[in-house]
Structures are given as structure tokens and as C-alpha cells.
Structure 1
Amino acid sequence: MSNAITRRIEDLEKLSPPLTAQADLDNYWEQTISQFSSKPLNATRSPLETPLAEMEAYKVTYEGFDETPIHGWYLLPRSSRGEKIPCVVLYHGYTGSKGYPEDYAAYILMGIAVFSIDIRGQGGETGNRLDQSYGMTKGWITQGILDRETCYYKAITLDALKALEWVCEQPEVDSKRICVSGGSQGGGLAMIAAALSDKPTIAVAHIPNMCYMDFGILNSTSALSEAAAFLERFPEHLDTVLKTLSYYDNMNLAHRIRIPLLVTVGLKDMVTMPETIYAAYNRVQSEKTIYPYPFTGHAVTGDQNRKALDFITKHLLQA
């Protein structure tokens, strides 16, 4: 049966815009990952109380890209003492935070550990010591945006990768059963972590950002609108900004994803637009599943969460 909805999805499934990758993309990331592999985490882990009797909780700080202490919650089900268990590493949406430990009770009930981190400078407890050598527009996205080495996307990507490194060092965690997960900005970080790190086993990217970013900067109302505002002010830097963003675009990095991936997308989403998500998803060559929601905007619904939990159960608890 053909209707406007099925035709829209069929068109998105065929979407394959030209890559914007620079010739040295893979080499750049190999060198960057090697450079940061020996950077110490300087981590701390201290217990804290929560209202949930079955949750063992810890406040964690670690260092990622620079000396900024990144704050996170490390959560364990008390019933799992003495055994190694899977862990979900969670990245939040733009302007958000790691939330409260009890926000992650569903994973604890499943017998899964959680490491939920703040994204630097945003709505959590974590600051931002990233150098700033040029003016910014509102928000964080344009910090250092004229150079791939200094930009905010590099900092949060390395922070996300170092979170995985910390988790794999924890004695309670089975390092062969790690899920990276998030929504919006967090979904974009889950995808880039899946592309750049060998530590995740699976990835869940709800309505991910950081996809087909030249289209997003032109059309979406996402955080990339900050980059658009920067370019309205400094139009002479258009090519430089697009080049910087290309190194952090999941469309360009999709070929590096080699693990099972679940993606969700809202067809009414003007923030992380479906065109951007499909442009990246269609280039992934590993086992993958995408769930389009024709009547959902920029949101993660109960059904999306249910499908993600089923996916995690299948790959981390039943495998």
C-alpha cells in the first residue's frame, strides 16, 4: 500500500548525499585516538546515597580532552555484587545534564550498570576549561570552531571516548558488554563513539545530532543554528567552519561503525531532521535497525525507549 507516509520513508531510505569528509579523515582520527590513549583519567569515585535501596551509587569525576573534571553517576544493582555485568554509558541531550541517579532505575532493574556523564559546560555540574581564542555566538557549539584541534566537538567527543575507557576499568563491569546510548546530542555522541572506539558492543542513537551537518546548519533548529548565527556574523569563515564540522559528522564516520546499531527518528523533527539522520544511517554497513516515527517531533517516546531496552536485552543479556 502506497501513501504519503510510506513514500516519505522510502525516499529517506534512498537518501545518499555526497560525503563532506576530508581526505585525511581516517588518518586524523587514528592519530588523535593514539595521542589521547595514554592521557591519564585522574578519576575519582566516591559513594553516595539515593532513595533507591536496590541501587548502589557513586559520584565520579574523570578527565577527558583536557583537565576539565567531567562529572558522572556510576550506578550498580546491589543484587549483582560479585559478578561482572553489562554497562550502559549514557550521553545527554544539548543543554541537559546527567540528571539524577534515580532517572536510570530501569537499567538497575534489568541488572545493568550505568555510567551517565555531563557534557562539559552545559546544564550539569561540569565546567569547561577549553581554551577560547575567538568570539562565540550563544551556547557552546561555536567555541573553537575555526580549527578541528580546538573546537568544542573535539572536546566532547574525546570526553565521551574517555568515559568508555573509565567504565572498562571498573571491576564490576564486563567490558565485552558495553552499550553507548543517548538522545539528540547524546545520540550523536553514541554514534561517534561507536565509530571511533573499539570498546562499545552495541549502540543506541535516539534522534541523533551530528549527522549531515552541512544540511543541518542550513536547515535545522538544532545546536547547529548557533554555527549558522556565527556564520551570519562572520560569513568569510563558511568554508573553514564546514571543514571543521566535517571531522565530527557521523555521515562521514558511518563507515567505521562495526557494531549493532539501533537508531530512532521522528519525521516531524525540525531539530535533528530526518534527512540528516538517514544520511548517516544509510551509510552504516554493520547490523543496524532504524525506527521512523511519522508523527513524532524532537522527542524520545515510551515506544522508542521500549525498543531500545529490547535491543539492549537481546545483545547484552541474552547473547
Structure 2
Amino acid sequence: MNLKTVKFLLATVLILIGQTVFSQNSPAPLKLVEILLTPDHADWNYRAGENAQVKVTVLKYGVPINEAEVEYSFGQEMMEPEVTRRLKLNDGQGIINIGTSTQPGFRQLKVKAKHNGVAYDGQVKLAFSPEKIEATTALPADFNEFWKQNLEEITNVALSPVVEHLPTHSTNTVDVFLVTIQINAKGQRLFGYLCKPKKAGKYPVLFSPPGAGVKPFAPNTSFADQGFISFTTEIHGISPVLDATAYRSISSAFGDYWLNNLHSRDTYYYKKVYLGCVRAIDYLCSLPEFDGENVAVTGGSQGGALAIVTAALHPQVKCLVSFYPALSDINGYLQNRAGGWPHMLNPSNGKVNNRPENLLTIGYYDVVNFARQIKVPGFYSWGYNDNTCPPTSVYAAVNSVKAPKTLSITPISGHWRFEETNRESLSWIKKQLKLVETRSE
């Protein structure tokens, strides 16, 4: 056996050992002890004024634990609990009556259990006439004029795209490009990954704005594989190809960007973000491979908010998908109920941010007020167990939409969604755009 063969075999063994060690140290996909919370209404929905009960089951290895004891609290969603008590379960099971809400909204039950010194927890949020939840955020009298003026200011600004092909990220069927475009006359720019089917033809375009944070991300070729030209962007003017270490440094420097210049509607951080989304659609529609007709936008959390904003501001968008939109009904906390991410007016943050000038700015950027402008069909999806974008705030936004809407609600989910919902949303987009197969010349 020659030296080259020995080195190869040694390298192979080391790789296998590494994989074995990694698999041995992978986190468990389940908790050793589970708290199962089962509402007495299968859809988790109740009429305002109707009592709700939840069965609590503490399981180990899928079997109820005898003589388990839990501590529980309940009250209005995201607010201080109204009741905190302990309950000893019979054969690992018990019933908790969490009362009712006389107003449309959500009640939240939190349960904690200890087993062998380890704490476990669970929660469930139940809806009371959620279709009647109304937004607390008022529409400024000159809201449309404000955004019309800002859109007019960027109309004649050249996109000046810089496009770089990325062979290492491309596939056999999709070409991937790093793209940067100009947002406004100040020279601020937006970065993103453009993914195009390699097969020659005319294609619908799809814009995918990002969730919150300052972080790197990879190209997503899945939409292009489904016959779309897609553009997935960041919002901060930072190249997504920077490594994670660089992004951590940048993120620390940025801080809470959603508070940047909150005192002024003209210089607030999200102004360039919202206008950047409009420019992203402009860029997609300028591509020679665009079919000239079909434009969709989809996103979740901050991206779900930006999907609504983009559809409201850009006349070429034909449909939108918004998962658990952030920045919705931010003022909710001022009315003693859950407000939307980033919770800048909750009881803690409100001590600093609840100022007249800030509240004035919020009116021009709250997603509720863009939802009121939507004229195209939308697919909206969220869960009830979401503490990041609470369902009260999401309902406030979606209930404000007067255009046709399809709701896909999975009560059990938190700030995430099932793959089945992703497939449902993509199928919905294709149906709206009347796409059966990719059209080619």
C-alpha cells in the first residue's frame, strides 16, 4: 500500500469519526418531558364572552407522569398574567379554565413543570372573535400624499445595477447573481441575490424581502426552479457575501435599527427600506426575461410586513404572500393589548419610546396603514403561539385588508411555519398568476 493510499484512507477514517462524533452530540429533536395543552375547541377559536378550558398533560416517553404538578398563569396575550396558580395532576392530566375575553382578542396560558430538577414549559393562545379585532393605529390624513411624494422622488433615479454572476452558487438549472441597485438620490444601495432559470424564455418575477436582523444569507434557488425569476434581498446596504464574523461586528454597530430616527417620518430608518422594496420590483420588471405581466412578493415576519408594504406601494404587484407580518399595529400596547414586533411600545420599551413625535412617525410606517391600501389578492398565514408577531397584531393588519384574501392559519405554530404551508402559498401564487407551466419563446 503506497503512501498516497494510506493518506486517503486516514482522511476517510477521520471524516467518519467526525461525523459520528457530530451525530452523537446533535441536540435532541424532542424534549424528554413534554407539556401537551389541548383546548376544548379544536380550532382554538371562541366567541367573545365564551369560556375556554385547556386540558394539561405532562408526558415522559409519551406517557402521562403520575402525580405531576404544574404552575400556570393566564391572562391577555403578552400582558401581565391575571392569575397564577399551581395544580396537581391526576395521572398526569388536569383541566384549566382560563376564562374568557369580552372583547375580540387572545388569552394566553403558560404552564411550567419540573421533573428531576429540570424545568419544562409550554404555552397556548386562544382566540376570541378574532375576525372582529380592529387596529388601534390611526391612518394619518396625508398618509397617501406622503408616500406618493417619496415615490415621485425616486422615479427618475437610475437603478444603476451592478451584477456579478456567482458560478459556485448556481446550479444545473438556475443562474445566481449578486446584484446591487441604487435606492435613491442619496446613493443608498440595496444588495440581493437574483436567481434566474437557465432555460431561455419569459418568466414571472418574485420579490422576497428578508426577515429582521443584520445577518448574512444564502441564495434561494427554489423559486427559480419553480419557474420564477426571484430576487431575495437584504435591507441595510450590506453585501450578503460577507462572512458571519463581519456581520456580527456590523450587527453590534447597528443596534436596534428599527429605532433609528424614529422621531422623524422623513429620516426614519424604514423609509429607505420601504423605498428599497419598490426599487427591487422596478429592477425585476426591467429584466429582459420578465414576462411583462406577472409580479408577486412573498416574505415572513419583517419580510411579511415588507410584502404588504410593497404590494401597497407598487402598482405592478399582482399578488402577495405575507407570513406573520411584523410592524403591525405597534400602538396596540397603548390600548392594553399586544402590539406588533418590535414591541417598541410595550410596558418596558414604552417608557422610552412613547413620545408624541415617535407616535406620529409610527403612523406612516405601521403595516396596518399599508394593509388598508391593498388592492390585490393576498395569502396570509400565521399561528397563534407566536410571541414575536403576536396574533392580535397580525389580525389587526389582515382584518384591515379589503382586497380578496386567503387565510391559512395553523394555531399551534409559533414564529415559524410548516412546509405544507409553504407549498400551499406557492400553489396559490401560481393560481393567482394563472401559471400552469413556464412560458418560453
| Same-fold status (TM-score > 0.5) | yes
Match of 2:188 in 1: 68
Alignment of 1:164-175 (within 5 A): 164-175=281-292
Match of 2:154 in 1: 36
Deviates more, 1:44-53 or 1:256-265: 44-53
The AA in structure 1 aligned to 2:179 is: V
Q: Distance in 2 between matches of 1:9 and 1:167?
A: 40
Residues 1:195 and 2:315 are matched in the alignment: no
Q: Distance in 2 between matches of 1:239 and 1:123?
A: 36
Judging by fraction of residues, say which structure has more helix: 1
Match of 1:78 in 2: 198
Residues 1:106 and 2:106 are matched in the alignment: no
How has the CA–CA distance of structure 1 residues 256 and 199 changed in structure 2, closer, same or farther, with 3 Å as cutoff?
same
Match of 2:400 in 1: 283
For residue 230 of structure 1, report the CA deviation from its aligned partner. Answer: 6.2
CA contact (8 A) 1:161 1:197 kept: yes
Judging by fraction of residues, say which structure has more strand: 2
CA contact (8 A) 1:221 1:270 kept: no
User: TM-score of the superposition, structure 1-length normalised?
Assistant: 0.86
Q: Distance in 1 between matches of 2:43 and 2:179?
A: 48
1:279-310 deviation line (CA, Å, top 9, x unaligned): 11112111111111111111132122111111
For residue 21 of structure 1, report the CA deviation from its aligned partner. Answer: 1.5
Match of 1:48 in 2: 166
Of the three residues 263, 277, 290, the one matched with 1:160 is 277
Uncovered stretches (5+) of structure 1, i.e. residues with no partner: 127-135
The AA in structure 2 aligned to 1:292 is: I
Residues 1:264 and 2:381 are matched in the alignment: yes
How has the CA–CA distance of structure 1 residues 5 and 312 changed in structure 2, closer, same or farther, with 3 Å as cutoff?
same
Q: Distance in 1 between matches of 2:273 and 2:368?
A: 18
1:177-224 deviation line (CA, Å, top 9, x unaligned): 111111100000000111111021110111111211112687458334
CA contact (8 A) 2:135 2:397 kept: no
Q: Distance in 2 between matches of 1:27 and 1:263?
A: 27
For residue 139 of structure 1, report the CA deviation from its aligned partner. Answer: 1.8
Of the three residues 186, 206, 228, the one matched with 1:88 is 206
Larger Rg over CA atoms: 2
Match of 2:342 in 1: 223
Q: Distance in 1 between matches of 2:145 and 2:398?
A: 22
Q: What is the RMSD of the two structures over their aligned residues, measured on CA atoms? A: 2.7
Higher RCO (CA < 8 A, seq sep 6+) = 1
Alignment of 1:122-201 (within 5 A): 124=240, 138-201=255-318
For the residue of structure 2 that corresponds to 1:141, the secondary structure is helix
CA contact (8 A) 1:41 1:62 kept: yes
The AA in structure 1 aligned to 2:225 is: L
For residue 95 of structure 1, report the CA deviation from its aligned partner. Answer: 1.0
